[in-house]
Amino acid sequence: MAIIQSNMAGNVWKVLVSVGDTVTEGQDVVILESMKMEIPIAAEVSGTVTEVKINEGDFVNEEEDLLVVE
């Protein structure tokens, strides 16, 4: 099991995956918005998304859990 975390504080602009989706290492899974910039967050491992812990429009802090991949 791997937990994908935010690497910075910002608003969740787009969630690109859903529970049950298969992701590959390096694939963009979430896009954060901070200071009018869009920052993609990539999966650090390959696997299946088992939990999405955030919603579009949420504010997240640095190192906050975003997704769980198994």
- Structurally, the chain folds into a number of domains equal to 1
Inside any domain, residue 68:
no
- Residue 63's pLDDT is 96
Q: Which residues contact 1 (CB under 8 A, 6 or more apart)?
A: 50, 68, 69, 70
Q: Residue 63 falls within a domain, yes or no?
A: no
Structural domain of residue 42, as residue ranges? 2-52
What residue type is 47 in one-letter code? Answer: G
pLDDT confidence of residue 5 = 97
**Any domain includes 57:** no
CATH number at 16 reads: 2.40.50.100
Q: Is residue 26 part of a domain?
A: yes
- Residue 65 included in any domain: no
Rounded mean pLDDT, 36-60: 97
pLDDT in tens, 20-44: 999 999 999 999 999 989 999 999 9
Give the model's pLDDT for residue 9.
96
pLDDT tens across 1-12, in order?
999 999 999 999
